[in-house]
Structure 1
Amino acid sequence: MSGREGGKKKPLKAKKKSGGDLDDVDLEFKAKQKAAKAAEAEARKKMLGGKKK
């Protein structure tokens, strides 16, 4: 009876993607996502502002 062999096996680690593999479509998508996130943050800031005296 070997206790070390039983149980769930760990998955192999996937290789990391290099950051320089972005093309024009990816850059455009990232810029669009960043703009949407900024607009959402601004809208949230306005909504939570409350009454100002």
Structure 2
Amino acid sequence: MSSHEGGKKPLKRPKKQAKDLDEEDRAFRQKQKEGLRKLVELKVKTRGKGPLATGGIKKSSKK
């Protein structure tokens, strides 16, 4: 007996069944998409500006 005979695995997985979404799931996903869209818009707006924390303690190189 060879060791290859015992546990062969299928090459492909069965496809996932398409779930029927009810109204609550659809509303939740829509809300997530809108939140993500707003976040992307805020990132685009803040890219043009300079760094937020410009102040702070600067160390001098002299000793």
Matched, 1:4 2:9: no
Displacement of 1:42 after TM fit? Answer: 0.4
Q: Which runs of 5+ in 1 are unaligned?
A: none
The answer for the alignment partner of 2:35 in structure 1 is: 36
**Which portions of structure 1, spanning 4 or more consecutive aligned residues, are displaced by more than 2 angstroms?**
12-15
Distance in 2, Cα, partners of 1:14 & 1:49: 48
In our comparison, the structure showing a higher alpha carbon Rg is: 2
- Aligned Cα RMSD in Å? 2.7
Displacement of 1:5 after TM fit? Answer: 4.7
Tell me the matched-pair count.
48
1:37 is paired with a residue whose SS is helix
Higher normalized helix content (fraction of residues): 1
Give the percent of matched residue pairs that are identical in Structure 1 and Structure 2: 40
Q: Which runs of 5+ in 2 are unaligned?
A: 51-63
- Once the two structures are superposed, what CA deviation does each residue of 1:1-53 show, in whole Å capped at 9, x if it has no partner? 5141578x67x83541215x0100011001100100100100111111236xx
What TM-score do you get using the length of structure 1 for normalisation?
0.63
Matched, 1:18 2:21: no
